[in-house]
Structure 1
Amino acid sequence: MPFCHSIINISCVKSSWSNDMRASLYSLMVLIILTTLVGNLIVIISVSHFKQLHTPTNWLIHSMATVDFLLGCLVMPYSMVRSVEHCWYFGDIFCKIHTSTDIMLSSASIFHLSFISIDRYCAVCDPLRYKIRINVLVIFVMIFISWSVPAIFAFAMIFLELNFKGVEETYYKHVHCIGGCSVFFSKIAGILAFMTSFYIPGSIMLCVYYKIYFIAKGQARSIINSNQDLQIGLEGKNGISRSKERKAAKTLGVVMGVFLMCWCPFFVCTVMDPFLDYTIPPTLNDALIWFGYLNSTFNPMVYAFFYPWFRTALKMILFGKIGLI
């Protein structure tokens, strides 16, 4: 049986996968990383370069793309080696930095999704006062919260070792080994992480989208049922505007669906594992982490499919016309 460290009796066990299996996993994960980096980099360049895209909403999208890009750049490559080899070769201090950064960026991405849903709610439900309510200052506050709260939570949790406070004996007896870098949560820490990083922002997204769906549906019905001649021109204008906002609402629904599909399995296992006496296999946990990472990979694809401005910017970037604007 291969080990990660020369001191066998306290070393983590290395993966026993064949070279072909390793090559396949590395190829798949490299593809995910590159897709994440390229997709989010295009979003960052598009919003930064084209002045027409310098709107408060797009700066929120720009900030989320930056978070997802950093996740693909700073976190995923090291997670890839750990997931394939089942060993950590980068030292204990960097393990804490990597784990903290992982939790921070993953949570920050989810926070951004939650604030984007609030932004879309204001656009659909109160379009006349939208520009007054959602201005640059409000977006800045949203971005600041989306970065700072996950950062404080993640680094405090890991560097103060609050994640296994109260179950230190269990951790050092049955989980800790030299050459490993696994995330371990006590019952309280697991619930706290679940609530902070997933349940609260996810519930906000779910409730907001639920309201947006029914309000947009009611707006569409009112436009169809309106037969007053004096309002035809006005309704035509409002109809076009509201049609765009309903499309944005559908985009939010897809983003939320992708978010739940990617992150729900991981966070459910995270909160349940301490109550199941840590019987969930580490390999399954690793797989679910990568499933969660896919959320950062899919976000730019959702923009490319739903937002015309993104498709236009993408074509200009790919054909080298970006310097002409």
Structure 2
Amino acid sequence: KAVSSGQTESHHKRTHTNGTFNCSHYGNGSCPENERALAIRAAMYAFMAGAIVITVFGNLAMIVSIFYFKQLHTPTNFLILSMAVTDFLLGLIIMPYSMVRSVENCWYFGLAFCKIHYSFDLMLSITSIFHLCSVAIDRFYAICYPLRYSTKMTIPVIKRLVFLCWSVPGAFAFGVVFSEAYADGIEGYDTLVACSSSCPVTFNKLWGTTLFMAGFFTPGSVMVGIYGKIFAVSRKHALAINNTSENQNTQMKKDTKAAKTLGIVMGVFLLCWFPCFFTILLDPFLNFSTPAVLFDALTWFGYFNSTCNPLIYGFFYPWFRRALKYILLGKIFSSHFQNTDLFTQKETE
């Protein structure tokens, strides 16, 4: 993500001589004059700031809703809660700094924070897709093996899944970035870092391929396969609805709708992040010739996935709209509202 933001020269132009850096191709490390007109910069700030506000407050509403309302304390929703935390953190601690870099064409926050920022950026993107994989597994058991669901997807199992979703991407992202393994073998990379006024992180062929395969393609393929099976079973359920009891009928409809909604969330994620991950894969094989502005645009296209998720939930889930209304009205400060029935709009004392 944001792999080559601010990169202004191709790697074959970088030179390193006698332990000193020749920065003639990069300037002296100070920020170049921004060539964008003031009106364009203002429009970019307004658009990106709007996306940040929706991302932060939309996902915060999802977090508060699931955490507060007892009716929403289900295994699936705990996974969605953890995924909303991922999107919330992306909007709160990643997107604002990326916004400044994107608009000003410069990284003002130092090399050390550049690595921290990029590590969290990479971690959160992989964490999101791991969460989606976990949700796909949860829905697979709920719809395809409903009699086993309560014994397979228990709260301890969900806790272990959440731990894996956070720990594995975190170890990978911080390990690769702070060890600078991603840059091994890239000629002139030290010069780029020493001379550039941006926050350059460029993956070599090995780590670019590893990131694409392990962080995106493999879990993405697993999700697509699982949801293919889920939708096949859902169609069978739809044909069998007339021959089932009313309670079974209602549960089948709920499970099918949940699977469709989460399938849309998965599809939006793959659509938003595939171009960026694919470019990371191809860039080292193209002699790092991808324009910086394209990398930046693809990175923000990926960020917008975190903006879309609460909008998708709001559009497809009436319970989320009701929960949001109660939050905005301040009714959640009354303890008895924890037992509100969000599905029928009746309250239980």
Q: TM-score normalised to the size of structure 2? A: 0.85
Out of 48-57 and 92-101, give the one that drifted further: 48-57
Query: Which has the larger share of helix?
Result: 1
1:266 equivalenced with 2:279 (yes/no): no
Q: Which runs of 5+ in 2 are unaligned?
A: 1-7, 9-22, 338-349
Give the match for residue 230 of structure 1: none
Amino acid at match of 2:163: F
1:180 equivalenced with 2:198 (yes/no): yes
Aligned match of 1:78 in 82, 93, 97?
97
The answer to whether the 8 Å contact 2:123/2:170 transfers is yes
Give the match for residue 205 of structure 1: 223
Aligned match of 1:50 in 39, 64, 69?
69
Q: Deviations over 1:47-86 (max 9, x none)?
A: 1111221222211111111111111111111111111111
Give the match for residue 39 of structure 1: 58
1:280 equivalenced with 2:298 (yes/no): no
Give the match for residue 317 of structure 1: 327
Give the match for residue 67 of structure 1: 86
Counterparts in 2 of 1:176 and 1:250: CA distance versus 1, 3 Å: farther
Aligned match of 2:245 in 219, 225, 235?
235
The answer to whether the 8 Å contact 2:27/2:196 transfers is no
Which protein has greater RCO, CA pairs closer than 8 Å, 6+ apart? 2
| Secondary structure in structure 2 of the residue aligned to 1:73 | helix
Give the match for residue 345 of structure 2: none
Shift of 1:196: 2.2
| Secondary structure in structure 2 of the residue aligned to 1:279 | coil
Out of 10-19 and 203-212, give the one that drifted further: 10-19
Give the match for residue 134 of structure 1: 153
Q: Deviations over 1:181-205 (max 9, x none)?
A: 0221000110111122211221111
The answer to whether the 8 Å contact 1:209/1:252 transfers is no
Cα distance between partner residues in 1 of 2:145 and 2:328: 37
Cα distance between partner residues in 1 of 2:259 and 2:239: 16
Cα distance between partner residues in 2 of 1:104 and 1:13: 30
Give the match for residue 172 of structure 2: 153
Shift of 1:323: 2.1
Q: Deviations over 1:249-281 (max 9, x none)?
A: 111221122112110111111101111111110
Cα distance between partner residues in 2 of 1:286 and 1:85: 12
Q: Which runs of 5+ in 1 are unaligned?
A: 227-233
Q: TM-score normalised to the size of structure 1? A: 0.91
Cα distance between partner residues in 2 of 1:203 and 1:13: 42
Give the match for residue 235 of structure 2: 217
The answer to whether the 8 Å contact 2:134/2:161 transfers is yes
Cα distance between partner residues in 1 of 2:52 and 2:200: 20
| Secondary structure in structure 1 of the residue aligned to 2:126 | helix
Cα distance between partner residues in 2 of 1:317 and 1:178: 46
Give the match for residue 128 of structure 2: 109
Q: Deviations over 1:205-263 (max 9, x none)?
A: 11111010111111222334x4xxxxxxx433222211111111111221122112110
Question: How well do the aligned residues superpose, as a CA RMSD in angstroms?
Answer: 1.9
Aligned residues: 312
